[in-house]
Amino acid sequence: MVTYYFRTIKDTELKVLSEVRTGVWVHVVAPTAGEIESLITQFSLDVDILEDAQDFFEVPRFERTGGATYFFTRYPYNEQKEDSDTAPLLIVMGESFVLTMALREVPVFDKIIKGTLPVVTTQKSKLFIQLMAQIINSYDAELIRLRRAVHKDRERLQKIGMKGVERLVQFENRLNGIVEALMPTTQWLAQITKGNYMQLYTDDIEDMQDLLIDANQVVDSARSILKTLQNMRGGLEAIMTSRLNNSLSILTVLTILLTVPLVVSSLYGMNVDLPLQDSPWTFLGIICVNILILTGLVLLFKKKQWF
């Protein structure tokens, strides 16, 4: 689906146009082959780069060719079809337009599209900064949610079972996905801030620097949570090892306690002549011997702190 958005500094709201004009924001979601061909012809886009944009696992990078600059990044998305927590996004900065292309819906742009966050599409650099700011903010919101969930699990670490372990693994995968998406993004943001790839005014450069700082802070925050998860995983491993050792110790003790009386009792189950086999007190004596042996073993195990 291709949608044309337009707003000048004099307009009160973001308009949806039926055709292209100078200063338009072209937002493309899950384009068909026909729509891609039309966009290539209409805006003189690079065919190979747009083919790369159809790869769901395309990594963040940027290229400049044919008078346009192509920025690949990724945004948080609860993907059901692919094994990923982020989705690719292509931002094209042309001479008279800004184009965004995604294979999935882009909920991080909802505030802009609904008019909650006003944008001016004719100011391309500012629009680019606002689009990227929404992506960075969405990562920050995702980290806040993950941090709360991780801290909640850390408080009950000793009670975590297998489902808790699986949940921690999922958290770690999501955080790794955030770092993998933002690290190359921050690298090309740093290059853009120098003003060599798009026209930036003084206030735009300041906004880009702030955006770069925010992106780096999100990366640092994600790494911090990852470190916390690694520490939790180490602590959980020690706890589970201790639980396993305790279980093995208990099973060993029970095996010994059951085996020794069984050996004593089985001696009088042999089909041979035995001492006191005709005495009416033999059975009671065997029980008393077993009790004494068990008592001695229990005292010995307690002294050795085996249980």
**Whether residue 135 sits in one domain with residue 109:** no
Confidence label for 71 from pLDDT (cuts 50, 70 and 90) = very high
Using left for φ > 0, alpha for ψ between -120 and 50, and beta otherwise, residue 74 falls in: beta
* pLDDT per residue as tens digits for the range 109-125: 888 888 888 888 888 88
Q: What is the CATH number of the domain that holds 149?
A: 1.20.58.340
**Whether residue 288 sits in one domain with residue 223:** no
**Whether residue 112 sits in one domain with residue 154:** no
Lowest average pLDDT, out of 35-44, 148-157, 203-212, goes to 148-157
**Whether residue 135 sits in one domain with residue 226:** yes
Does residue 277 register a pLDDT over 70?
Answer: no
pLDDT at residue 243 in the model: 73
**Whether residue 253 sits in one domain with residue 136:** yes
**Whether residue 205 sits in one domain with residue 154:** yes
* pLDDT per residue as tens digits for the range 182-234: 888 888 888 887 766 777 777 878 888 888 898 999 999 988 888 888 787 77
DSSP string, 127-153: HHHHHHHHHHHHHHHHHHHHHHHHHHH
Which residue(s) pair with 64 in the sheet? 69
Does residue 99 register a pLDDT over 90?
Answer: yes
Which residue(s) pair with 87 in the sheet? 75
**Whether residue 57 sits in one domain with residue 103:** yes
Q: In what order do the strands lie in the sheet with 97-102?
A: 15-17, 2-6, 24-29, 97-102, 86-93, 68-76, 61-65
Cα–Cα distances in angstroms (integers) from residue 15 to residues 25, 113, 115, 194, in the given order:
10, 9, 10, 32
* pLDDT per residue as tens digits for the range 244-268: 777 777 777 778 777 777 777 776 6
Q: What is the CATH number of the domain that holds 36?
A: 3.30.460.20
Long-range contacts of residues 237-246, Cβ cutoff 8 Å, at least 24 apart = 239/157, 239/158
Mean predicted lDDT score pLDDT of the chain: 82
Does residue 30 register a pLDDT over 70?
Answer: yes
Lowest average pLDDT, out of 104-108, 239-243, 274-278, 293-297, goes to 274-278
Taking the C-alpha atoms of 270, 274, 277 and 283 in order, what is their torsion angle to the nearest 10 degrees? Answer: -60
Highest mean pLDDT among 34-38, 165-169, 267-271: 34-38
**Whether residue 225 sits in one domain with residue 160:** yes
Kindly give the pairing relationship between strand 24-29 and strand 2-6.
antiparallel
Domain boundary, last residue among 106, 121, 136: 121
pLDDT at residue 274 in the model: 64
CB atoms within 10 A of CB 204: 19
Does residue 80 register a pLDDT over 70?
Answer: no
pLDDT at residue 267 in the model: 66
Does residue 83 register a pLDDT over 90?
Answer: no
pLDDT at residue 131 in the model: 92
Does residue 27 register a pLDDT over 90?
Answer: yes
Does residue 237 register a pLDDT over 80?
Answer: no
Which residues lie below 8 Å from residue 194, measured CB to CB, with a gap of 6+?
A: none
Q: Which two tokens stand for residue 151?
A: 């801290």
Confidence label for 100 from pLDDT (cuts 50, 70 and 90) = very high
Report helix, strand or coil for 71: strand
Rounded CA-CA distance 225/256 in Å is 46
19: containing domain: 1-121
**Whether residue 114 sits in one domain with residue 163:** no
For residue 275, give the DSSP letter: T
Stretch (H or E) spanning 24: strand 24-29
Rounded CA-CA distance 124/201 in Å is 11
Which residues lie below 8 Å from residue 13, measured CB to CB, with a gap of 6+?
A: 7, 115
Count of domains for the chain: 3
Q: Which two tokens stand for residue 278?
A: 């005709």
Tell me if 77 sits within 8 A of 86, measured CB to CB: yes
Give the gyration radius of the chain's Cα atoms.
34
Highest mean pLDDT among 36-50, 154-168, 265-279: 36-50
**Whether residue 264 sits in one domain with residue 245:** no
Rounded CA-CA distance 301/303 in Å is 5
Q: Amino acid letter at 195?
A: G
Does residue 304 register a pLDDT over 80?
Answer: no
Domain boundary, last residue among 72, 100, 121: 121
pLDDT at residue 194 in the model: 74
**Whether residue 64 sits in one domain with residue 150:** no
pLDDT at residue 195 in the model: 62
**Whether residue 250 sits in one domain with residue 208:** yes
